[in-house]
Amino acid sequence: MASSTVYRDLLLHKRHGLPFWTPEPDANLPEAYRDRGISIGDLGLLTDDGGFDYLFNIHATADDPVNHLGTPTDFNPLQKPGCGIRKIESFHSERSCITRNIATRLANTIGAGADITYVFGSFFILALFIFCTGQPV
């Protein structure tokens, strides 16, 4: 089984959404699209290598740079709901790990002089220790 399939099937259980094996925007898409990446209102095709093949955005007008690849002839953008998008900053915190079938992990070496060790059980965080070693990275 392809690793991208394993990745999708296992992390789907974490109930964050459909996990993409290729989170980066298509490098051949216009700069306007690459700046923002996948966004609400994007229409695309799910690919079996774990990616999203972007077509157009239903909120953008036909002449918007992000709709450079073309839109259907009778295309009418759907008005973006004013306050209709919920945004949660750092929903996943810095250095967060989302794993499956990973029992233990020990981590260190982030930032200047701080070593952080995580000890994780299968489902719950058991402990978080922070050691300040003062060692340069």
Residues 6-35 that bind another protein (CB under 8 A): 6-13, 15-25, 34-35
Q: How far is the CB of 64 from another protein (least distance, A)?
A: 16
Binding pattern for the stretch 61-100 against another protein, x by CB under 8 A and - elsewhere = ---------xxxxx---x--x-xxxxxxxxxxxxxxxxxx
Q: Which residues 6+ apart lie within 8 Å of 57 measured at CB?
A: 39, 41, 42, 43, 64, 66, 67
Contact pick of 32, 36, 61, 113 for another protein (by CB under 8 A): 36
Q: What is the CA angle 98-104-108, rounded to 5? A: 80
Does the protein bind another protein through residue 119 (CB under 8 A)?
Answer: no
Q: CB 67: neighbour CB atoms within 10 A?
A: 21
